């Protein structure tokens, strides 16, 4: 847990998050500023900044949660597909320094990747 991390605060229940899925090691919740309906963030509950900081078990848990959440999110908003992406480090646009995968639902004819 990092004291000044907004996603750790969501994990701790100190600020609200709209939970999509949760298990012992991971959490998925709706993005506060969605790029598309259903835009969801998938995180490990432990605080780590970079993907490469996760140990193998936690990385596997995170991937399993993505595999579960992606089709559930697509179904929930009637999407045809989704972009799944990690901004891994500030120079790549990572603003929240806690590993998170974006699941962004996509719709036929919506104009391409954001």
Residues classed as catalytic: 100
Residue 88 binds which of Zn ion, ligand 5GP, none (CB < 5-8 A, kind-dependent): none
Going by C-alpha positions, the residue among 72, 82, 71, 76 that lies closest to residue 110 is: 82
Question: 64 is in the binding site of which of Zn ion, ligand 5GP, none (Cβ under 5 to 8 A by kind)?
Answer: none
29 binds Zn ion (CB under 5 A): no
Nearer to ligand 5GP, 50 or 67 (CB): 50
Q: Does 87 bind Zn ion (CB under 5 A)?
A: no
- Interface positions with ligand 5GP (CB under 6 A): 6, 17, 29-33, 41, 87, 93-96
Range in contact with Zn ion (rule: CB under 5 A) among 6-14, 21-29, 31-39, 104-112: 6-14
Residues 79 and 38: beta-carbon distance below 8 Å = yes
Q: Is 31 exposed, middle or buried (0-12, 13-18, 19+ CB in 10 A)?
A: middle
For 31, the enclosing helix (H) or strand (E) is none
- The greatest distance separating any two alpha carbons of the chain, rounded to the nearest whole angstrom, comes to 42
Only segment of 22-30, 32-40, 47-55, 58-66 that touches Zn ion (CB under 5 A) = 47-55
Distance CA 13, CA 113 (A): 32
7 binds Zn ion (CB under 5 A): yes
């Amino acid at each position: 847990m990092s004291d000044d991390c907004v996603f750790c605060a969501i994990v701790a229940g100190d600020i609200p998050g709209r939970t999509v899925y949760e298990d012992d090691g991971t959490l998925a919740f709706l993005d506060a500023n969605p790029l598309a309906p259903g835009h969801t963030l998938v995180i490990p509950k432990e605080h780590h900044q970079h993907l490469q900081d996760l140990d193998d078990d936690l990385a596997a848990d995170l991937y399993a949660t993505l595999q579960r959440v992606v089709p559930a999110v697509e179904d929930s908003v009637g999407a045809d597909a989704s972009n799944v992406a990690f901004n891994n480090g500030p120079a790549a646009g990572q603003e929240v320094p806690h590993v998170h995968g974006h699941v962004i639902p996509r719709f036929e004819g919506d104009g391409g990747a954001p």
